[in-house]
Amino acid sequence: MPGKRVVVTGLGALTPLGLDVASYWQGLLDGISGADYIKGFDAEKFKTRFACELKGFSADNYIDKKEARKMDPFCQYSIVAADQAMADSGLNLDKVDRHRFGVVMGSGIGGLQTFYNEVRDFSLGDGTPRFNPFFIPKMIIDIAPGHISIKYGLKGPNYSSVSACATASNCIIDAFLLIKAGYADLMLCGGSEAAVNQAGIGGFNALKALSERNDDPKTASRPFDKDRDGFVLGEGAGCLLLEDYDHAIARGAKIYGELCGVGLSADAHHITAPAPDGEGARNVMKQVLKDANLSPEQVDYINVHGTSTPLGDIAETRAIKDVFGEHAFKLNISSTKSMTGHLLGAAGAIEAIAAILSTHYDQIPPTINHFTDDEDCDLNYTFHKPASRTVNFAISNTFGFGGHNTSLLFGKVKS
């Protein structure tokens, strides 16, 4: 779309592969699985007893202890990812207009651990309502951008977008549009999720959405494999600093790449299942190409939604074939969820980071855990090992329950 150019000048990530962007990226290239048996609670009686948890994270290492106690884990993750993006950007806050610096950070579920704990404790009591005074502020999704803006004194647009698993991508799109339209010069954006708990695992088990491969957690996330049986739940956060191109150049910023276009669509089909023919995914990829003014042949890599569900992987494959034609077989495609699991409302952010870094380093992370070919999934999914190729343009697809579809298109920066 016409308007200001938008570039990426800072990155932050907490993922099951590591607690910073460098560890996350190296873990992807090394093809490491972040899945293991759940350590955060006793999952013995659950149908799924494994997940992709954060490893070694302690909020006390990053946030004042008193303040951390007022936050749900999802909020803690948001703040740490934002801190990393800020540090990575090299910004001097004294030299920017904080009224033109905003935050759009979301979460698919928000303070699920807080909600679970408070309701559990109430139900086990004598009926007297005794709730933590921070119950509501800890639980609500928009508290994360609120905390970030307070910490840094950022007085531009500040809110959350929520669209289930497409949340982080929607937040990135909102931030992009705000800069394009001239409402801001800089935006922190992305998403966070902390749903690996009794309510999260139990709820997704009830939906029959999770893999139940308890005998082999490391290989349970199997996008595009014939024997895939559901996704693996993950947790963490991702944050991008988006910046007006002219603003970034004027301050001599390090630039990872450009956000060239965005796409939004709805399946209008089912609350959890994708449209079987991939119509929503097809429409959103057509839209992102049009928005970026690119032909299908110019795209080199797609970081797909690729959740490892029986229906979703086929629908997305069909959509890619419809949009890209013969070029679909020349693209590199991968699902990094095979390594991180599905971070729900944070997925779009960490996967956008993977797409950005693929253009920055000309490296494509693999899809791991492939054992049996599926005749309906016959594209180049970059199985097992990373690939080296020039990546001028990369797409990141993210889809959410409710039929929400988002697509982001990143490219190398050209003057």
Bridging pattern class, strands 158-159 and 236-244: unpaired
pLDDT in the model for residue 414: 86
pLDDT greater than 80 at residue 95: yes
Choosing from 250, 273, 306, the residue where a domain stops is: 250
Residue-level pLDDT at 17 = 98
**Spatial CB neighbours of 169, under 8 Å, sequence gap ≥ 6:** 348, 349, 352, 396, 398, 406, 407, 408
pLDDT for residue 1: 54
32 with 90, same domain: the answer is yes
Is 255 contained in some domain?
Answer: no
Q: Which residues contact 275 (CB under 8 A, 6 or more apart)?
A: 267, 269, 281, 315, 403
Query: What is the distance between the alpha carbons of residues 302 and 292, in angstroms, rounded to a whole number?
Result: 15
pLDDT at 301: 98
Q: Is beta strand 186-193 parallel, antiparallel or unpaired with respect to 101-106? A: parallel
Residues recognised as catalytic: 165, 305, 342
Find the helix or strand (DSSP H, E) in which 210 lies.
Answer: none
Question: Is residue 287 domain-shared with residue 177, that is, in the same domain?
Answer: no
d(CA 74, CA 238): 11
pLDDT at position 2: 65
Q: What is the mean pLDDT of the chain?
A: 97
Confirm whether 324 is domain-assigned: yes
Does 68 share its domain with 30?
yes
pLDDT of residue 332: 98
The count of domains in the chain is 2
CATH number at residue 224: 3.40.47.10
Going by DSSP bridges, is the β-strand pair 257-266/404-411 parallel, antiparallel, or unpaired?
A: antiparallel
Segment holding 174, helix H or strand E:
helix 167-180
pLDDT at 149 over 80: yes
8-state DSSP, 183: S
pLDDT tens for each residue of 354-363: 999 999 999 9
Other CB atoms within 10 A of residue 225 CB: 22
204 & 336 share domain? no
User: What is the extent of the structural domain holding 182?
Assistant: 7-250
| Position 1 in a domain | no
Residue (of 303, 306, 317, 406) closest to 356 by Cα position: 303
Question: Which tokens sit at 71?
Answer: 């936050």
Q: Cβ of 222: how many Cβ atoms within 10 Å?
A: 27
Q: Based on the fold, state whether residues 24 and 149 are members of the same structural domain.
A: yes
One domain for residues 219 and 339 = no
Give yes or no for residue 279 having a pLDDT over 80: yes
pLDDT digits (tens, 9 = 90+) for 379-403: 999 999 999 999 999 999 999 999 9
How far, in Å, are 26, 116, 284, 396 from residue 168 at the CA level? 22, 23, 16, 11
pLDDT band at residue 324 using 50, 70 and 90 as cut-offs: very high
Of 250, 280, 302, which one is at a domain's C-terminal end?
A: 250
Say yes or no: 221 and 311 in one domain: no
Q: Mean pLDDT throughout 327-348?
A: 98
- Tens digits of per-residue pLDDT, 216-245? 999 999 999 999 999 999 999 999 999 999
Predicted pLDDT of residue 3: 79
SS3 334: strand
- Asked whether residue 2 is domain-assigned, the answer is no
